[in-house]
Amino acid sequence: MWGGIECTVVRLRDRFRNQVAETGHCDRLDDLDRIAALGIRTLRYPILWETIAPDDPDSCDWRWHDARLARLKTLGIRVIAGLLHHGSGPRYTDLLDPAFPHLLAIHAARVAQRYPWIELFTPVNEPLTTARLSCLYGHWYPHASDEHSFLRALLNQCGATILAMQAIRDITPSAQLVQTEDVGKVFSTPRLRYQADFENARRWLSLDLLCGEVDPHHTLYDFMRDNGIDAAVLERLEDNPCPPDIIGANHYLTSERYLHPRTDAFPAEFSGGNGRDRYADVEAVRMPLPAVQLGPAARLAELWARYRRPIAITEVHHGCTREEQLRWLIEVWNAAAEIRRRGADIRAVTVWSMLGAVDWNSLLIRDDGCYEPGAFDARSEPPRLTALGRAVESLAREGRFEHPVVVNSPGWWHRPERLYHPPTRRRMAPPTAVRRPLLVVSNDAEWWRVCRNAADVRGLAMAAVNWSDPDAEAPDRLRSVLKALQPWAVVATRAGLEQAASDVRLHELALACDALSIQLLIYDSNGTRDDSGDGQQRQSTYPGDGGTAARPSQAWTDPTLVVCAGRKYFDDALDLLIDGEHGFWCPTSRGLQRRDEAAAKDDGRNLAAG
């Protein structure tokens, strides 16, 4: 199990965005100790060109990196040094600059000289993806949008990788290239198969170039020549290959695409074309394709068959609710294990964005402050370990992880509701035995709807008990219900109960859950507004919370999680429940926070709720 910190430094017109700053890692040296405590012994870590020599190639500031790399060395963590991560370099260069490869090689040599103990390097992260987003689609600097610029940017990055590794190996002969790239696939209707075939050939182009395999017989050789690439440039790359020692496969749920000519049948933002045909470019997981054609196992098998070189999955992340993050991690882990059993040399699985990521849902184009937690949630001070982090630790130390939310349902990308156009007649799936559901206890019809909707959307098996049911009225019978259902957690609300009665009922439920080691979430939206987010403490009437109805004899037990918030925060509360959190939480400008943290002044990073 490897780890990685989302570290993109991307240029947008005349400004730069830095994910290390936006997630707060720039100010927290002790993040590295937290990562090490999970059992991570190899870490993708930034030594980025733009942050060391931002204004002048001969004016370098190493202080931040010196402190962190020294700490990583002390912790015994092997570093995979990233030198450029979706960037176009500092202000004095860019992806189309002929001097770009030589300038990056100078930076690479300086890194190797300063940190001679580092042996694993990624000079350029995802060169093909970066070239597409910067010079074909125009999202990032230098904001070009033509095939010639795309190819120049790609060749520049591959040339820079080769020169960088040569410079590094002059100093550290044992240095290895860990070359990362997004590994996906394009599917289509028969009419658009020509476009899918082209994109499926193009997806390998960065690796083919580095391996010296682009010669006049290559599928895309004529395409490159037709778009203005000099034959001498291609010949130089062919004659000076730098094949990866480890291929880093980055695979996301959106890495696989489907091209469909009916643009009116899909959301407008997916409409595009190639000058010959108009089509929708949508997520393949939302189309009715055979499951065996999709996913990490299929892509890893293709990658191994093509290159027969060691592979590491170098980014695993899913910006979604916690159970879906867990399901995705376990699916990728199991896929890697399966492909390894078939004979492939799979070295590792990397949990990416360990400290989360900001605004990747818009490719960093918008400043929405949309934060996606990772192994840690950086909105808390200090960053809070999530269930994903607990899974990382379990996989790193024991090679396995189990949780009822993973066992009871597949990820949304496997469920029928994922489809853009579900079949009108759906074949009924055979019933599956549900182990340890989520139990909801309430008296309010609106809360039943809220809980049921959340459970359905998130694929959470749910059982329900009404406060007025005989089984919920007597403590002994309530405990019998809990023993019979064996829920992994209970969600209870005050809704529909009088204050005095709810105090007694909730206290009895807390004692019963504590006795059976069942997590308990008490969600109280009474007296709160759905748009509350001011971070102000609100008076509580929970026993043991020090409010007006505090009763020492009815103090809550430690495992109890109490959330006082409007219903819009219910999904966030479920994430906290899956994380195993407890204590009193309320809304702030940075999402749900512990009551004591909510009272503190916001630190200005404005990480909004994911």
Maximum Cα–Cα distance across the chain: 84
Domain assignment of residue 310, yes or no: yes
Is the predicted pLDDT of residue 533 greater than 50, yes or no? no
Contact 303, 183 (CB under 8 A): yes
Average pLDDT over residues 543-554: 38
Supply the pLDDT for residue 595. Answer: 85
Residues 438 and 412 grouped into a single domain: no
Q: Which helix (H) or strand (E) holds 195?
A: helix 193-202
Query: Which stretch of 199-203, 539-543, 566-570 has the lowest confidence by average pLDDT?
Result: 539-543
Domain assignment of residue 346, yes or no: yes
The CATH number assigned to the domain holding 529 equals 3.40.50.720
Domain assignment of residue 595, yes or no: yes
Q: Taking Cα atoms as reference points, which of 439, 549, 550, 542 lies closest to residue 492?
A: 439
Average pLDDT over residues 116-133: 98
Residue of 602 and 307 predicted with greater confidence: 307
Domain assignment of residue 57, yes or no: yes
Residues 517 and 571 grouped into a single domain: yes
Average pLDDT, the chain: 91
Q: Note the pLDDT tens digit of each residue in 508-525.
A: 899 999 999 999 999 988
The Cα 316–Cα 251 span in angstroms is 7
Domain assignment of residue 161, yes or no: yes
Specify the residue for token string 């770009």.
100
Supply the pLDDT for residue 605. Answer: 45
Half-sphere exposure of 139 (CA within 13 A, CB side): 15
* Domain end call among 389, 416, 443: 416
* Domain end call among 365, 390, 416: 416
* Domain end call among 384, 416, 448: 416
Domain assignment of residue 531, yes or no: yes
Angle at 295 (CA atoms; ends 292, 296), nearest 5 degrees: 120
Supply the pLDDT for residue 599. Answer: 63
Domain assignment of residue 607, yes or no: no
Residues 574 and 463 grouped into a single domain: yes
Supply the pLDDT for residue 557. Answer: 56
Residues 411 and 443 grouped into a single domain: no
Is the predicted pLDDT of residue 469 greater than 90, yes or no? no
Average pLDDT over residues 350-378: 97
Average pLDDT over residues 471-495: 85
Contact 463, 440 (CB under 8 A): yes
Residues 317 and 450 grouped into a single domain: no
Q: Taking Cα atoms as reference points, which of 384, 450, 421, 315 lies closest to residue 44?
A: 315
Q: Note the pLDDT tens digit of each residue in 258-292.
A: 999 999 999 999 999 999 999 999 999 999 999 99
Residue of 602 and 485 predicted with greater confidence: 485
Beta bridge partners of 78: 42
Q: 3-state DSSP call for residue 176? A: strand
> How many domains does one find in the chain?
2
Q: Which two tokens stand for residue 477?
A: 């019978």
The Cα 592–Cα 610 span in angstroms is 10
Residues 479 and 351 grouped into a single domain: no
Residues 391 and 528 grouped into a single domain: no
- Residues of the domain holding 452: 433-599
Supply the pLDDT for residue 600. Answer: 59
Is the predicted pLDDT of residue 602 greater than 90, yes or no? no
Residues 447 and 394 grouped into a single domain: no
Residues 581 and 476 grouped into a single domain: yes
Q: Note the pLDDT tens digit of each residue in 380-431.
A: 999 999 999 999 999 999 999 999 999 999 999 999 999 999 887 655 555 5
Pairing of strands 176-182, 120-122: parallel
Q: Which helix (H) or strand (E) holds 4?
A: strand 2-4
Supply the pLDDT for residue 558. Answer: 63
Residues 321 and 441 grouped into a single domain: no
Is the predicted pLDDT of residue 85 greater than 70, yes or no? yes
Residues 395 and 495 grouped into a single domain: no
Supply the pLDDT for residue 435. Answer: 77
Contact 42, 77 (CB under 8 A): yes
Residues 331 and 445 grouped into a single domain: no
Q: Note the pLDDT tens digit of each residue in 130-140.
A: 999 999 999 99
Is the predicted pLDDT of residue 542 greater than 70, yes or no? no
Contact 201, 174 (CB under 8 A): no
Contact 256, 302 (CB under 8 A): no
The Cα 142–Cα 128 span in angstroms is 15
Domain assignment of residue 114, yes or no: yes
The CATH number assigned to the domain holding 221 equals 3.20.20.80
Q: Taking Cα atoms as reference points, which of 499, 363, 325, 311 lies closest to residue 86?
A: 363
